[in-house]
Amino acid sequence: MTEALTRFPPTRTAALERLNRFVPRAGRDYAARRNYDLGRDNHDGVSTLSPYIRARLLTEAEVLEATLLRHSPSAAEKFIQEVYWRTYWKGWLEMRPAAWGQYKTSLKGALDNVQTQSGLRDRWEQACKGETDIECFNAWARELVETGYMHNHARMWFASIWIFTLRLPWELGADFFLRHLLDGDPASNTLSWRWVAGIQTPGKTYLARTSNISKYTEGRFAPKWQLAGEAPALSAPPKPDAMLLPEADLPIPSPRTGLILHDDDLSPGFILDAGIAPTATAIITTRSGLSPLAMAPHVTEFADAAAKDTVDRFGERLGAVSHVAPTAAALSAWAEAAGVDQVVTAYAPVGPAADVLSRYSGQDAAPPLRRIRRTFDSTAWPNATHGFFRFKDKIPRLLGELRGLRAAE
More confident residue, 71 or 404: 71
Helices (H) and strands (E) in the chain, counts: 20, 5
Query: Could you tell me the residue ranges of all domains in the chain?
Result: 3-94+380-408, 100-216, 257-373
Section 186-192 average pLDDT = 98
Q: pTM of the prediction?
A: 0.96
pLDDT in tens, 298-315: 999 999 999 999 999 999
Section 17-29 average pLDDT = 98
Whether the pLDDT of residue 287 is over 60: the answer is: yes
Whether the pLDDT of residue 385 is over 80: the answer is: yes
Torsions phi, psi of 330, nearest 5? Answer: -65, -40
Average pLDDT score over the chain = 96
* Cα torsion through 391, 394, 398, 400, rounded to 10: 160
- Of 115, 160, 116, 117, residue with least CA distance to 137: 160
Section 307-328 average pLDDT = 97
Proportion of the chain above pLDDT 70, given as a percent: 99
Torsions phi, psi of 30, nearest 5? Answer: -65, -45
Structurally, at CATH architecture level, domain 3-94+380-408 sits in Alpha Horseshoe (1.25)
Cα–chain center distance at 53: 8
CATH no., domain 100-216 = 1.10.579.10
pLDDT in tens, 27-63: 999 999 999 999 999 999 999 999 999 999 999 999 9
Whether the pLDDT of residue 409 is over 90: the answer is: no
Torsions phi, psi of 262, nearest 5? Answer: -120, 170
What pLDDT sits at residue 363? 87
Cα–Cα dist 366/363, whole Å:
6
* Radius of gyration of the chain from its Cα atoms, rounded to whole angstroms: 21
Cα–Cα dist 158/288, whole Å:
24
- Of 36, 39, 40, 60, residue with least CA distance to 50: 60
What pLDDT sits at residue 24? 98
What pLDDT sits at residue 403? 75
- Of 262, 255, 156, residue with least CA distance to 209: 156
CATH no., domain 257-373 = 3.40.50.620
Section 111-136 average pLDDT = 97
The length of the chain, given as a count of residues: 409
Section 77-89 average pLDDT = 97
Cα–Cα dist 338/322, whole Å:
10
Cα–Cα dist 134/31, whole Å:
29
pLDDT in tens, 331-354: 999 999 999 999 999 999 999 999
